[in-house]
């Protein structure tokens, strides 16, 4: 029984702080799931306490049909305080992964990972000791100690306990910190960054100019992502890399920065303990940046204008230097990607993929309010609930020709690491994944007249989705905020880099009741009040009719591909098309 397996697993977590999700039986293998689930379903029990951990019971009244009630029930459980924000590597976070595995078994999915529902992801948990760590700036004759959380957030990707020190490192304003030969752009040209600290703008030059010939105009490219900027600074040999926060180009406020990058941070176990990364990575508030540029007898606005103008040359910030030290705890942990499958009847070795990340931020006690649990109801209990609802429909419907796999990945909030791990260590060949659908942060705001495609204009999956939406009397909307770079900020990008076409779409803002104004109001309030905050909690007043409608569209899209012999691809000219073509040729 799955419940008995879970009891054993949770007990082992408490003893060893790690576990692997158990299959329905020791020798289980992918099964024929042609009609009703072939995996035995346990009899759901009331909530039980296992070795001090309270595990919620599996849902008892979900149906094979896609319904708003099912979606709400699963979301409420996944986002409950029981799992304390689903931080990877924690007892509660890994228990939430086990809950998803149990639910996959209950609804009839076969284990997809060599007889298991779990792919183990080895990770590091790193926590900066703020009593022994700090970052200061010498500005002329002034020594400015930056207050953690208020003025700056800092950490290191080096996986040693430290202390890791930088001293009197000269600051250099490197604009957007981009080296992109295909755009004929190199902010580091002619620089030797050894012994220096890079000060960097967020996003990329096209955001400010809206010039479609400059990078991708309003639409953020990967070069605009904070992850790229820190990686490039390391390639340039810098002492440290400091990103200046600004709400509009970052697409989130300072409170998201101070909350997301404080407390325990997760990373994959890196070769060489990550010593190829800069000793210190940081964000500083815009107020601190303004003070730095004022010392240079200029302004933030003027320096930003210079940085997005072709021909920009990096500017030494004379008279300004950084010193800092990081001491941290480093512990090796394990997390889990969870996967179940409905095996195809004629082409079982070809796969239609659904994916969603199960993790969130956990408890953040450093800078949080009295409620420290970041429940992540919309981000991304909503996506997992939607994926499981479609999985139940597939598991209890007519067996598709191709296999359909459902993948719940970990460590998304730490930089899309769980999906990146799967992409580098796939348990099914990536060139056998025909196509994928990613569900991340779906708004339960009622029926909509449209669906918005994030990163629109990317793949042929968009044409298929548009045809399905017409049967629902809905229309497709292009990405409404391409400048925010959401296409590069969710797990599908890990597979896109390997060539696999994956679509990322959400129910649109043009609501049946209230129109665009009501839809945008919901999104704006969520972003301002709840995104990456404890307020992202389940609300019983949410309307899941639109989420169910989206799930029906995604189910139809996946079913159509699973029952076809088609291989959808990226559009001609897309950055991932050549990678996919080469992969398929192999």
What residues does 340 pair with on adjacent strands? 111, 406
Lowest-pLDDT range of 165-174, 302-311, 364-373, 499-508: 364-373
Residue 52 vs residue 212, higher pLDDT: 212
* Residue 369 pLDDT: 62
Tokens found for residue 213: 């010939």
Q: Is the pLDDT of residue 291 over 90?
A: yes
Lowest-pLDDT range of 33-37, 239-243, 376-380, 394-398: 33-37
* Residue 22 pLDDT: 35
H or E stretch at 556: helix 545-562
One domain for residues 221 and 140: yes
One domain for residues 293 and 314: yes
For 15, residues 6+ apart whose C-beta sits below 8 A from its C-beta are none
Residue 501 vs residue 212, higher pLDDT: 501
Q: What is the pLDDT of residues 58-105, one digit of tens each?
A: 777 899 999 999 999 999 999 999 999 999 999 999 999 999 999 999
Task: Annotate 217-255 with three-state secondary structure.
Answer: CCCCCHHHCHHHHHHHHHHCCCCEEEEECCHHHHCCCHH
* Residue 57 pLDDT: 74
What residues does 322 pair with on adjacent strands? 137, 169
* Residue 59 pLDDT: 76
Looking at the domain assignment, is residue 472 inside a domain? no
Q: What is the pLDDT of residues 441-498, one digit of tens each?
A: 999 999 999 999 999 999 999 999 999 999 999 999 999 888 888 888 899 999 999 9
Confidence of residue 10 (pLDDT cuts 50, 70, 90): very low
Q: Is the pLDDT of residue 192 over 90?
A: yes
Mean pLDDT of the chain: 89
* 3-state class (DSSP) for residue 149: coil
* Residue 289 pLDDT: 97
CA-closest candidate to residue 57, choices 91, 80, 38: 80
The number of domains in the chain is 2
457: left (phi over 0), alpha (psi -120 to 50) or beta: left
d(CA 45, CA 98): 16
* Residue 53 pLDDT: 65
* Residue 543 pLDDT: 98
* Residue 49 pLDDT: 43
Lowest-pLDDT range of 56-60, 209-213, 317-321: 56-60
DSSP 376-396: -IIIIIHHHHHHHHHHHHHHT
Lowest-pLDDT range of 2-6, 51-55, 172-176, 444-448: 2-6
One domain for residues 177 and 315: yes
d(CA 170, CA 172): 7
Lowest-pLDDT range of 6-15, 80-89, 254-263, 309-318: 6-15
Looking at the domain assignment, is residue 451 inside a domain? no
One domain for residues 83 and 150: no
DSSP 443-475: --B--BSEEEETT-SSBTHHHHHHHHHHHTT-E
Averaged pLDDT for residues 516-522: 96
| CATH number of the domain that residue 438 is part of | 3.40.630.10
Residue 360 vs residue 49, higher pLDDT: 360
Tokens found for residue 207: 């955001």
The last residue of a domain, from among 301, 326, 351: 326
- Is residue 257 within 8 A of residue 148, CB to CB? The reply is no
| CATH number of the domain that residue 236 is part of | 3.50.30.30
Looking at the domain assignment, is residue 223 inside a domain? yes
One domain for residues 367 and 501: yes
- Is residue 340 within 8 A of residue 428, CB to CB? The reply is no
Dihedral sign of CA atoms 397, 391, 355, 75 in order: positive
One domain for residues 262 and 368: no
> Which DSSP state fits 115?
T
One domain for residues 486 and 383: yes
One domain for residues 96 and 152: no
One domain for residues 161 and 240: yes
Around Cβ 191, how many Cβ atoms within 10 Å?
18
* Residue 491 pLDDT: 95
Looking at the domain assignment, is residue 463 inside a domain? no
d(CA 456, CA 467): 15
* Residue 23 pLDDT: 33
Averaged pLDDT for residues 156-166: 95
Task: Annotate 290-334 with three-state secondary structure.
Answer: HHHHHHCCCCHHHHHHHHCCCCCCCEEEEEEEEEEEECEEEEEEE
One domain for residues 77 and 142: no
* Residue 58 pLDDT: 75
* Residue 46 pLDDT: 32
Q: Is the pLDDT of residue 551 over 50?
A: yes
Looking at the domain assignment, is residue 406 inside a domain? yes
Q: E strands along 66-174, which residues?
A: 110-111, 118-128, 134-139, 142-145, 152-155, 164-173
Looking at the domain assignment, is residue 288 inside a domain? yes
H or E stretch at 185: strand 185-186
> Which DSSP state fits 580?
H
Looking at the domain assignment, is residue 459 inside a domain? no
* Residue 583 pLDDT: 94
d(CA 150, CA 127): 18
One domain for residues 305 and 391: no
Around Cβ 570, how many Cβ atoms within 10 Å?
21
d(CA 565, CA 401): 9
One domain for residues 195 and 170: yes
Residue 112's domain comprises 2-121+335-443+481-506+550-585
The last residue of a domain, from among 273, 301, 326: 326
* Residue 60 pLDDT: 73
Looking at the domain assignment, is residue 534 inside a domain? no
d(CA 234, CA 277): 5
The last residue of a domain, from among 326, 346, 371: 326
d(CA 101, CA 152): 39
Q: Is the pLDDT of residue 30 over 60?
A: no
Question: If 0-12 CB within 10 Å is exposed, 13-18 middle and 19+ buried, where does residue 512 land?
Answer: middle
Q: Is the pLDDT of residue 25 over 50?
A: no
Residue 494 to residues 125, 184, 358: CA-CA distances in angstroms? 21, 25, 16
Any alpha helices (H) in 159-221, and if so which ranges? 205-209
d(CA 254, CA 274): 27
């Amino acid at each position: 029984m799955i419940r008995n397996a879970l009891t054993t697993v949770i007990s082992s977590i408490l003893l060893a702080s790690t576990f692997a999700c158990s299959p329905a039986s020791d020798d289980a293998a992918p099964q024929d799931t042609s009609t009703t689930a072939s995996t035995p379903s346990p009899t759901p029990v009331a909530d039980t306490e296992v070795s001090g951990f309270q595990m919620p019971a599996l849902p008892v009244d979900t149906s094979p049909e896609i319904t708003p009630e099912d979606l709400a029930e699963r979301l409420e459980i996944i986002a409950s305080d029981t799992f304390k924000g689903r931080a990877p590597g924690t007892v509660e976070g890994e228990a939430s992964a086990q809950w998803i595995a149990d639910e996959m078994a209950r609804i009839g999915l076969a284990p997809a990972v060599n007889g298991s529902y779990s792919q183990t992801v080895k990770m590091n948990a790193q926590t900066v000791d703020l009593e022994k760590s700090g970052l200061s700036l010498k500005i002329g004759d002034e020594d400015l100690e930056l207050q953690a959380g208020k003025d700056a957030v800092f950490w290191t990707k080096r996986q040693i306990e430290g202390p890791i020190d930088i001293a009197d490192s000269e600051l250099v304003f490197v604009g957007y910190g981009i080296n992109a030969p295909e755009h004929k752009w190199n902010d580091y040209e002619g620089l030797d960054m050894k012994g220096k600290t890079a000060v960097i703008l967020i996003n990329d030059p096209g955001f400010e100019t809206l010039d479609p010939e400059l990078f991708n105009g309003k639409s953020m490219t990967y070069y605009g992502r904070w992850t790229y900027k820190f990686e490039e600074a390391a390639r340039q040999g810098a002492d440290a890399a400091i990103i200046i926060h600004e709400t509009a180009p970052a697409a989130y406020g300072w409170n998201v920065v101070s909350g997301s990058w404080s407390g325990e941070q997760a990373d994959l176990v890196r070769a060489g303990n990550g010593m190829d990364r800069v000793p210190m990575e940081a964000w500083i508030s815009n107020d601190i940046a303004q003070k730095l540029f004022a010392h240079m007898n200029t302004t933030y606005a003027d320096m930003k204008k210079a940085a997005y103008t072709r021909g920009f040359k990096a500017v030494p910030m004379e008279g300004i230097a950084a010193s800092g030290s990081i001491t941290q705890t480093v512990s090796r942990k394990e997390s889990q990607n969870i996967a179940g499958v409905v095996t195809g009847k004629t082409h079982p070795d070809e796969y239609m993929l659904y994916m969603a990340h199960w993790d969130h931020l956990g408890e953040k006690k450093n800078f949080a309010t009295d409620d420290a649990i970041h429940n992540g109801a919309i981000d991304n209990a909503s996506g997992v609930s939607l994926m499981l609802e479609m999985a139940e429909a597939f598991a209890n419907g007519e067996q598709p020709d191709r296999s359909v796999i459902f993948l719940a990945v970990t460590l998304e909030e730490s930089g899309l690491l769980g999906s990146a791990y799967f992409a580098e260590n796939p348990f099914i060949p990536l060139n056998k994944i025909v196509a994928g659908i990613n569900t991340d942060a779906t708004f339960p705001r009622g029926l909509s007249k449209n669906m918005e495609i994030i990163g629109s204009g990317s793949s042929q999956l968009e044409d298929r989705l548009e045809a399905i939406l017409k049967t629902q009397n809905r229309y497709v909307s292009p990405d409404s905020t391409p400048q925010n770079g959401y296409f590069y900020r969710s797990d599908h990008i890990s597979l896109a880099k390997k060539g696999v076409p994956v679509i990322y779409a959400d129910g649109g803002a043009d609501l049946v009741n209230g129109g665009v104004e009501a839809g945008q109001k919901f999104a704006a309030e969520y972003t301002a009040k709840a995104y990456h905050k404890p307020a992202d909690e389940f609300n019983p007043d949410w309307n899941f009719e639109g989420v169910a409608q989206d799930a029906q569209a995604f189910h139809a899209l996946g079913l159509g591909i699973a029952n076809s012999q088609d291989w959808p691809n990226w559009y001609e000219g897309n950055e991932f098309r050549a990678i996919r073509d080469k992969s398929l040729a192999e």
